[in-house]
Amino acid sequence: MTLSLQYPIYGPEIQCPHCRQVIPALTLTDTYLCPRHGAFEANPHNNELVHLQSGRHWRRWEGEWYRQHTHPDGIRFEIHEALDRLYTQGYRATKVIIANRYKDLVSTYLERNTSWRGNSKSVPRLYGLPVEFSPDIPKEPHWDVINFDLEKEPGVPKRYPYFRLFE
């Protein structure tokens, strides 16, 4: 048996997605054990890490864990947090790009700008920002892991960032 086969897919140790402490794999299992957060199981079939206690899922991209959402509130909350962070850094977001795999999950929750002029094109919005979905996964594999991206521009808006006047 080679050494790599003794460890789960993410190797002999990982950073705990909750506390970022480096935690070891239990040899010959798919489990990592955090002294504070308990067991995480790596699924070799879909490359997901599952926190057994909470059922939360993560995927990893360039050393960072990205929580995988199963409820629209989860990803909406994460986007809201990111918008807050951006605002405190002196930027404002101009667009939200959400990973295509969440399209079904979030679509019914997006704001539709039903125009009184009967405009044919209604751009879905979230927190007042136009929403797009990511391109196909084979072209940009990180979109299979990350949840969303924000397009931004410098400058603090005059008003609270999420209340922008629509066209």
Residue of the chain from 7, 10, 14, 16 that contacts Zn ion (CB under 5 A):
16
The residue among 32 and 148 lying less far from Zn ion, judged by its C-beta, is 32
Residue of the chain from 6, 12, 13, 19 that contacts Zn ion (CB under 5 A):
19
> Tokens 């950073």 — which residue?
15
Span of 12-20, 63-71, 119-127, 153-161 interacting with Zn ion by CB under 5 A: 12-20
φ, ψ dihedrals at 67, nearest 5°: -60, 135
Least separation in angstroms between CB 21 and Zn ion: 5
- The contacts of residue 17 (CB under 8 Å, 6+ apart) are 40, 49, 51, 56, 58, 65, 67
Least separation in angstroms between CB 7 and Zn ion: 18
Least separation in angstroms between CB 65 and Zn ion: 11
CA distance 119 to 138: 34
Span of 30-38, 49-57, 69-77, 127-135 interacting with Zn ion by CB under 5 A: 30-38
160: its two tokens = 């609270």
Does residue 14 interact with Zn ion by CB under 5 A? Answer: no
54: its two tokens = 């909470």
- The contacts of residue 53 (CB under 8 Å, 6+ apart) are 37, 38, 39
3-class secondary structure, 66? strand
The residue among 37 and 76 lying less far from Zn ion, judged by its C-beta, is 37
Does residue 67 interact with Zn ion by CB under 5 A? Answer: no
Does residue 37 interact with Zn ion by CB under 5 A? Answer: yes
**Residues 101 to 160: which contact Zn ion by CB under 5 A?**
none
User: β-pairing, 148-154 with 91-98?
Assistant: antiparallel
Amino acid code (one letter) for 91: Y
Least separation in angstroms between CB 59 and Zn ion: 17
Return residues touching Zn ion (CB under 5 A): 16, 18-19, 34, 36-37
